[in-house]
Each structure stands twice: as C-alpha cells, then as structure tokens.
A and B are shown apart, each in its own frame.
Chain A
Amino acid sequence: NAGVMQNPRHLVRRRGQEARLRCSPMKGHSHVYWYRQLPEEGLKFMVYLQKENIIDESGMPKERFSAEFPKEGPSILRIQQVVRGDSAAYFCASSPKQGASNEQFFGPGTRLTVL
C-alpha cells in the first residue's frame, strides 16, 4: 500500500506565476488535509477536503489560494500570482475516516521556492 504521494517534490516559480501542487492520498483514504511549513516553524493547517467537497478552509489565505479534491484524480492546491512569502514546504496528509483515531499520514511535501 503506497503512502501519500505528492508531486512535484520541488517547485521553483517566479513572482506572479502559478503553482500547482498535487497530492494522491493513500488507497482507501477519502479525507485530505493540506498544511504549510515555513522555514524553522511548525506546520499550519490550511484546508480539509473530502471528495468533491471543501469541509474546512479556515487556514487558507483569502486570496490567491484554492484547493480541490475531485471525484477522480489527486487533490490540487493552487497558488495564483505567487509571491516570495509563499516559499515554504507544503504537506498533504490523508486519513481513512473522520472521528476517534484521526491518524493522519503525511506525504513527503512539495518545497516551493519563489524567486
């Protein structure tokens, strides 16, 4: 059973470009979370999705950021018109169900560098 997969692992963008980060959850997992980790800091929750639904986007910046988890295919975190402050590691996690255990399995992350 493959773990959570993220691609690309490294992404370099110039200011003003768009960044698309992909996450394939573990097989059988229907819950996806995105977290952002700034250098030398802890992870900060961004958004929680189930298939075709955004459940909690309380950690997402109001502008330029969007996320989706379509019925088929990976979850996508999209950042439009990137700025240098968007440089960070973006981690996706998945879990099989909501509720008591809530064990979340993390992917290897995408490290975004904005020039």
Chain B
Amino acid sequence: QQQVKQSPQSLIVQKGGISIINCAYENTAFDYFPWYQQFPGKGPALLIAIRPDVSEKKEGRFTISFNKSAKQFSLHIMDSQPGDSATYFCAASTSEAAGNKLTFGGGTRVLVKP
C-alpha cells in the first residue's frame, strides 16, 4: 500500500515539446506529493510539490496535475529544453506517519533533443 508507480521509465522529447510523466499511488493517507529532479552524480532537488486540496499547480514551465479520485498525479514540462534532461522522481508522504518519510516512484529519465 506504500507503493508509488511511475511511468514511463524513459522519455525522449524534442526541444520545445511537452514532457509528461505520470504517477499513481495506493495509500489514501498520502497528503504531500513532491517532484524531484536529479542530474547524474547529484542528489535529488525539489522541483515542485502539491497537496490534494488543489487539482493543479504551476511554477514556470512545470505543472503538476492532481486527480484525487483516481489517485494519480502528473508532471508536465512545457517548452522542454536540453537543460531539462535529467531523471525525474515523483514521491509521496503522509503527515499521519512520524517524520513524513518519502515514498518514491521508480524515476523517469528524460532526454530533450536539441
């Protein structure tokens, strides 16, 4: 019940295109859904996060869409740039558990071609 499933595993998009990554979760107690960006050899960096009381959040070229009834959320990267080439992880946590540990999806490797 703690799983977060992420798809696709990899994605190739042309510069200027839209990258879409999807995640699904099972635990209805999850109430915080962040997305992390990771470059090779680096630690994950928080990109954007959402709570289930809103259906969409936008920050610059990055948008999270959230569907509580379907228990799904997605990341859209608009106008994708070569510098966006990285691995993206969705995650989830619940404030009911001590410490709010993050449960991560398996990751999506995004390659933006110039």
Contact = CB atoms under 8 A, between A and B. Distances in A.
Interface string B27-69: 0000010101000011111100100000000000000000000
A91 interface: yes
A103 B99 CA distance: 11
A98 interface: yes
A91 B103 contact: no
B99 A91 contact: no
A102 interface: yes
B89 interface: yes
A80 B113 CA distance: 44
A45 B99 CA distance: 11
A56 B100 CA distance: 10
Given A42-B104, A42-B105, A98 B44 contact: no
A115 interface: no
A42 B43 contact: no
Max chain B CB contacts within 10 Å: which of A40, A102, A108?
A: A102
Nearest to B46: A103
Interface in A38-56: 40-45, 48, 55-56
A55 B106 CA distance: 25
Interface residues of A, number: 29
A45 B46 contact: no
B101 interface: yes
Contacts of B49: 103
Contact of A45 (B6, B32, B98, B101): B101
Interface in B55-114: 89, 93, 95, 97-107
A98 B99 contact: yes
A98 B100 contact: yes
B89 A98 contact: no
A104 interface: yes
